[in-house]
Amino acid sequence: SLRINNLHKRELNFKFVIIGDFGVGKTSIIGRYTEGQFSTSYKITIGADFALKTLEWDEDTRVNLHLWDIAGHERFGSLTGVFYRHAVAAAIVFDLTRPETYSSVEKWLIDLRRKVHLPGGLPIPVVILANKGDVTVTTLPSQIEDFCKANNILSWFITSAKNNLNIDEAMIRLTNAAIQNH
Ligand code: GTP
Ligand code: MG
């Protein structure tokens, strides 16, 4: 029989926060994911930014991802609860070419876990994105696997906003988790 999708579909709205140090590629990842574009020029984010991605998840479900993008130069702990409020998943981004940005991942995680929880009180699902994977780097942070296990991180990915590497995969992983928690 003929099925009119729009009438049948349930619509899920999820807020995801994308955090991490300045210049790691948060805005670029979101731009790649939502616009299919990448630019080599660095336009620093001031305050916070916002983008929407709609996924026709399955025959019955449409998912609207509300991607919140912060200014990485904000100091840890200075983000207000408003930024995190009602977030159901997070990506913490670091820059493979700048090891100090990996050191910050734990601080971002602590800030996040302190400021937002699922309605039932459980921590929100988190992925770590090791970005700029298109640039040749000699060493990956060796502790990342252990760090993920110890800190209840869903998964980590080497990503590239430039080459469109693993961004869809990471967002799908988070969306799956958000749907399960829904
Ligand atoms: P803030 O807004 O200051 O927090 O920075 P951000 O995390 O949003 O970084 P942004 O996306 O603005 O990227 C910073 C710089 O890194 C820009 O020059 C981008 O072109 C570059 N960049 C981002 N992602 C990639 C990537 O995957 N590969 C390469 N080679 N460069 C990237
Ligand atoms: Mg930005």
Asked if residue 131 has its Cβ within 6 Å of ligand 1, the reply is yes
Structure tokens at 34: 């939502």
Cα(27) to ligand 1 centroid in Å equals 7
Highest mean pLDDT, choosing among 4-8, 71-75, 79-83, 176-180: 176-180
Which tops the pLDDT comparison, 53 or 75? 53
Task: Give 71 Cα–ligand 2 centroid separation in angstroms.
Answer: 5
Opening angle at CA 72, ends 68 and 73, nearest 5: 140
Most informative mutation of 29, 37, 42, 101 for ligand 1 (most atoms within 8 A of CB): 42
The continuous run of DSSP H or E covering 130 comes out as: strand 126-131
Q: Decide if pLDDT at 6 tops 70.
A: no
**pLDDT at 76 exceeding the cut of 70:** no
pTM of the predicted protein model: 0.94
Q: Using the predicted structure, report yes or no on whether residue 13 has a pLDDT greater than 90.
A: yes
Q: Which atom of ligand 1 is nearest to the CA of 31?
A: 11
Task: Identify the weakest region by mean pLDDT among 44-53, 121-130, 134-143, 165-174.
Answer: 134-143
pLDDT band at 1 (very low <50, low <70, confident <90, very high): very low
- Does the CB atom of residue 134 touch ligand 1 within 6 A? yes
